[in-house]
Amino acid sequence: MDFTLLMFRVLASAALVCGILVILCRNAVHSALFLVGVFISVAGIYVVVGAEFLAVVQVLVYAGGILVLFLFVIMLVGKDAMVGKRRMRLLATVGTILIILFGLLMAQQLNVAGEGGTTGPDADSTRLGNIERVGLALFQDYILPFEVASVLLLVAMVGAIVLAREAY
Amino acid sequence: MMDILGSLFSWLPVELWIMRPELCLTLAAFLTLIFSVARRAFQPRWLGYFSIAVTAAVGAPLLDLFRRTTELPGQEFVAWNGMFVVDSFAVFFKVLFLLAAILTMLMSIRYLDVEKAHTGEYYALIMFAVVGMMFMVSARDLILLFVGLETMSISTYILAGYLKRDRRSNESALKYFLLGSFSTGIFLYGISLVYAVTGSTHLRVISDAIAEGLVNHPLLVLGLILMIVALGFKIAAVPFHMWVPDTYEGAPTTITAFFSTAVKAAGFAIVLRILVEGMLSARMHWAPLVVILSAASMIIGTLGALLQENVKRLLAYSSITHVGYLLMGVLAVQRGADTGARGMVAIAVYLLAYTFMNMGAFGLVVALRREGLVGDQVDDFTGLARRAPLAAFSMLVFMLSLGGIPATAGFIGKWYLFGAAIKADYVWLAVLAVLASATSLYYYLRVVVRMYMGEAEEEGGLRPSGALASALVISLVFTILMGLYPQPFIWLAQHVVLY
Amino acid sequence: MEQYLPILIFVLVAAAFPVVTLVVARVIRPHKPDPVKLSSYECGLESVGEVRDRTSVRYYLIAVLFVIFDVEVIFMFPWAVRFKQLALLGFVSMATFLGILLLGYYYAWRKGALEWV
């Protein structure tokens, strides 16, 4: 087994275990911390498959920004909501079982699929670094979605302010 | 006049020229946003009128594009690496969105004052939602489609929770947001699987790849299923409808009207765009799923509406039933048969009719709203015929139209949809639809009976604002006109064909 | 892939360091707890109320704004590394992107979302 595959298996298992713990933890703060584990593991997977830019984004935006947001929300709702109830636990267990089933299905399908499909174009990978290629794709092929994304971010910002400011 | 306006923009490069409507509306939304917080703040009411005027003005470049795209069948303008396409299909839906947005904003002006939540952002968010929809229906690339979808969705999540002090509005927004973002994740998962198999997010490339023998690739099928599940959430088809009654009940009534018309139409536009333009070769995989969604929506929607005492909930369930009808139109699309065009035209006709009649019905609920009365109970309509005969009459028309009685817009829509289903050999589904619409008459007429037979508890007519009254009149006139003289509307809808 | 081996080793060492320190400290140190020692330290004052108090929604607002501008900055990264090749078109599209978000910044500012009181 080569190094890449080994690293992928280690990181993927870590992400899975952390993900399951996110759902099963009774304390919301613990869940949030395991979520960091998921994010970091996924960032590691991105590095393994050669998508360094995504790895950086994953760490900066998710492990940095989004998680802070999660923690604030947890603190916002107060102590009572922080510890899960029995019923939530049942739902979480059912959810976990379903997710495992889905994962098994996917794994089986992937085995069946084998080579059939084509994966993304990867011809330039030796000539240019990953971040350069993202830059070219984003600013040459995908300019329009990129610009619309700025409107999307603006709407999100307006929304947060409209809903979270006390006064009208 | 048109030519002068046209030459005003002729210096634009073609990439921008074909998205004049989007650009104008985005700029207007920016301006509204700035005006709402400017140092010399504008009154929200005036921002409302400004937004209505601009949205109506955007109709001009849109009509110009409509004229150009309908000169020849299949005429289309493509730009941005083939991502952004302006064809008659897209233009029709954009007109529909503008129409729904204008009616919504007309209804909102007085309503927001009563709710004490009148700010300029409201109008900006509606316009942003429309911008998102416009990019959605013009997208031939799943990435652009997704970004447009999200712009629309986030705007509508916020609008659902706009009445911050109303617990029902909070609940509505939260449920809508959680299930909406969940379905967004599923949609993205579907896109990524399709990309993994076909190596592209462009619908034409995907279509070619599928036709060249990837049809039965398990990951492609899985991606397709995930996308249908997510779209099912967006258009509110059973079994992905759980959020609908609560969201529709709690959201501001005007926004509920917007959800049930514009947002739903946008959902159907991308369902057609993806399933027909991208996945028609994989029809044998998606058709059975759509059959299930359609039948389940008709049954559950009809049963759910039977006992509702809240008009907004009633209309929510009824909208689920209508999704069931509309999905029959999707099923009618088949390769190598003229039933395909028939299905899409039927959907267009139906959405047009549905926009007018549903806007009108929600408009009446808005009209009942005043200080101290929410006006969303069926009981609030009791005896309305004596208090406000004109309002009661228009509600009568809207209800009959939703039920599909001849000489109303709803009948024309149903006629086309059910006919398309029968032509496409889904006779049992059409029979189910007829049964569902016969049953639905019961709950629509329940409101009518209360209005005309009941004894009103209070005196005095309704005093809708001028804007609301004009929105109601527009809806009423078009609902009747489309029922009596449908030809121009059908001519319009006949351009809604994907090639 | 191999060039990441040093980083991997670095990460492992970094992770091992606190674990080893804590374990060693636990083994060596004396362990005599009493109520005063176990109480949480509040600058010498008696602690009042719960630790998990509800925080103001303003923190959330700030965090959301942070995430949005964070995402914005992320997009500048791939743009900057290919700045010359992307030429004017890249510059214009980035300027538009920033301009639209600047509008959001103006809105947030005027709306008082950046003020604490």
Residues 6+ apart with CB under 8 A from B343: B328, B329, B330, B331, B332, B333, B420, B424
Mean pLDDT for chain A overall: 80
Flag whether residue C107 sits within 8 Å of chain B, measured between CB atoms. yes
Q: Subunits touching C (CB < 8 Å, at least 3 pairs)?
A: A, B
CB contacts of A168 in chain B (<8 Å) are 116-117, 119, 164
- Report chain A residues whose CB lies below 8 A from the CB of C108: 157, 161
**In A, which residues are within 8 Å of C80 by CB distance?**
135
| Residues A73 and A141 grouped into a single domain | no
Assess whether pLDDT exceeds 60 at residue A14.
yes
Number of domains in chain A: 2
| Predicted pLDDT at A117 | 43
Residues 6+ apart with CB under 8 A from C30: none
Residues of C in contact with A3 (CB under 8 A): 1-2
H or E stretch including B25? helix B20-37
* Interface check B198 vs A, CB under 8 A: yes
Give Cβ neighbours of residue B3 (< 8 Å, ≥ 6 apart). none
CA–CA separation, A117 and A156 (whole Å): 36
Which residues of A lie closer than 8 Å to B, measured between beta carbons?
A: 106, 109-110, 112-113, 116-121, 141-145, 148-149, 151-152, 154-156, 158-159, 162-163, 168
Q: Does B121 touch chain A (CB under 8 A)?
A: yes
Higher-confidence residue of B33 and A108: namely B33
Interface test with A, best of C8, C82, C107 (most A CBs within 10 A): C82
Rounded CA separation B356/B348 (Å): 13
State the sign of the Cα–Cα–Cα–Cα dihedral C45, C48, C52, C58.
negative
Q: Which of A63, A79, A95 is the last residue of a domain?
A: A79
Nearest to C105 by CA among B130, A61, A150, A143: A150
Q: In angstroms, what separates the C-alpha of C39 from chain A's closest C-alpha?
A: 20
Which phi and psi angles does B41 have, rounded to 5°?
-60, 140
Residues of A within 8 A of B83 (CB-CB) are 142, 144-145
Instruction: Please name the member of C2, C63, C70 whose beta carbon is closest to the beta carbon of A72.
Output: C63
Chain C residues whose beta carbon lies within 8 Å of the beta carbon of residue B38: 110
For residue B238, which of B196, B297, B192 has the smallest C-alpha distance?
B297
**How far does the CA of residue B207 sit from the closest CA of chain A (Å)?**
14
For residue B124, list chain A residues with Cβ-Cβ distance below 8 A: 158
Q: Quickly list DSSP for B423-473.
A: HTT-HHHHHHHHHHHHHHHHHHHHHHHHHHHS--SS-S-----HHHHHHHH
**With 0-12 CB in 10 A as exposed, 13-18 as middle and 19+ as buried, what is B19?**
buried
Task: Tokens for A156, please give them.
Answer: 């999100």
Res A94: pLDDT? 84
Q: Do the strands B84-87 and B76-79 form a parallel or antiparallel pair, or are they unpaired? A: antiparallel
Judged by a CB distance cut-off of 8 A, whether residue A10 touches chain C is no
Contacts of C6 in chain A (CB under 8 A): none
Please tell me which residue, A78 or B90, carries the higher pLDDT value: B90
Residue C90: which of A53, A139, A160 has the nearest Cβ?
Answer: A139
CA B283 – CA B268 distance, rounded (Å): 17
- Say how many Å lie between the first and final Cα of chain B, rounded: 32
Q: Which C residues in the span 9-28 are in contact with B, Cβ-Cβ below 8 Å? A: none
Residue A84 lies in a domain: no
Integer Cα distance of A3 and A48 in angstroms: 10
Q: How far is A71 from chain B (nearest CA, A)?
A: 18
Q: How far does Cα B281 stand from its chain's mean position?
A: 27
State whether B144 and A145 contact (CB < 8 Å): yes
**C109 to chain A: which residues are within 8 Å by CB?**
none
Q: Give A-chain residues touching B128 at CB under 8 angstroms.
A: 151, 154-155
- Contact flag B199-A121 (C-beta cutoff 8 Å): yes
- Closest residue on chain B to C101 (Cα): B30
Q: Report chain B residues whose CB lies below 8 A from the CB of C106.
A: 34, 37
Which residues span the domain enclosing A28?
A: 1-79
ipTM computed for the complex: 0.91
CA of residue C112 relative to chain centroid, distance? 23
Q: What is the pTM of this model?
A: 0.91
When comparing pLDDT for B432 and C85, which is higher? B432
Q: List, in sequence order, every beta strand (DSSP E) within chain C.
A: none
User: pLDDT tens digit string along C29-80?
Assistant: 888 888 888 877 777 777 777 666 677 778 888 888 888 888 888 888 889 8
Residues A138, A74 share a domain: no
Res B337: pLDDT: 56
A contacts of B220 (beta carbons < 8 Å): 117
Q: How far is A98 from chain B (nearest CA, A)?
A: 15
Nearest chain C residue to B40 by CA distance is: C110
User: What is the CATH topology of the domain spanning C2-110?
Assistant: Methane Monooxygenase Hydroxylase; Chain G, domain 1 (1.20.58)
Distance from CA of C100 to the nearest CA of B (A): 8
Going from N- to C-terminal start, the domains of chain C cover 2-110
Same domain, A6 and A64: yes
Please give the single-letter amino acid code of residue A55.
A
Give chains near A: 3+ CB pairs under 8 A. Answer: B, C
Inspect the interface and report whether the beta carbons of A144 and B198 lie closer than 8 Å. no
Residue of B nearest to C108 (CA): B37
The reply to whether residue B34 touches residue C111, judged by beta carbons under 8 angstroms, is: no
Chain B environment of C110 (Cβ under 8 Å): 37-39
Residue B44 near chain A (CB below 8 Å) = no
Which among A112, A119, A155 is the nearest to B218, CB-wise? A112
Question: What DSSP designation does A119 have?
Answer: P
Minimum Cα–Cα distance from C75: chain A residue:
A135
The verdict on A2 and A68 lying in the same domain is yes
Q: Which residues of B84-107 are buried (b: 16+ CB within 10 A; e: fewer)?
A: bbbbbbbbbbbbbbbbbbbbbbbb
Shortest CA distance to B499 belongs to which of B9, B2, B78, B47? B78
CA of A19 to nearest chain C CA: how many angstroms apart? 20
- Residue C36 Cα, gap to closest chain A Cα (Å): 25
Chain C residues in contact with B42 (beta carbon < 8 A): none
- Angstrom distance (rounded) from CA B280 to CA B190: 16
Q: Count interface pairs B-C at CB distance under 8 A.
A: 13
* Chain B interface includes C103 (CB < 8 A): yes
Alpha carbon of A140: minimum distance to chain C alpha carbons (Å): 8
Identity at B241, one-letter amino acid code: H
Q: What is the DSSP letter of A101?
A: H
User: Are A12 and A71 in the same domain?
Assistant: yes
Task: Specify if A17 maps to a domain.
Answer: yes
A28 within a domain of the structure (yes/no): yes
Contact B219 A159 (CB under 8 A): no
Is A47 a member of any domain? yes
* Numbers of helices and strands, H then E, in chain C: 4, 0
Q: For residue A123, what pLDDT is reported?
A: 45
pLDDT in tens, chain B (499 residues): 555 555 667 777 888 888 899 999 999 999 999 998 887 777 888 899 999 999 999 999 898 888 888 888 778 889 888 899 998 899 999 999 999 999 999 999 888 888 888 888 999 999 999 999 999 999 999 999 999 999 999 999 999 999 888 888 999 999 999 999 999 999 999 999 999 888 889 999 999 999 888 888 888 888 999 999 999 999 999 889 999 999 999 999 999 999 999 999 999 999 999 998 888 888 889 999 999 999 999 999 999 998 888 999 999 999 999 999 999 999 988 766 565 688 889 999 999 999 999 999 999 999 888 877 777 888 888 888 888 889 999 999 999 999 998 889 999 999 999 998 998 889 999 999 999 999 999 999 998 998 898 887 777 778 888 899 999 999 999 999 999 999 999 888 888 887 6
Cβ-defined contact of C107 to B30 (cutoff 8 Å): no
Angle at B93 between CA B272 and CA B198, to 5 degrees: 35
A151 touching C (Cβ < 8 Å): yes
Can you give the pLDDT at residue C7? 84
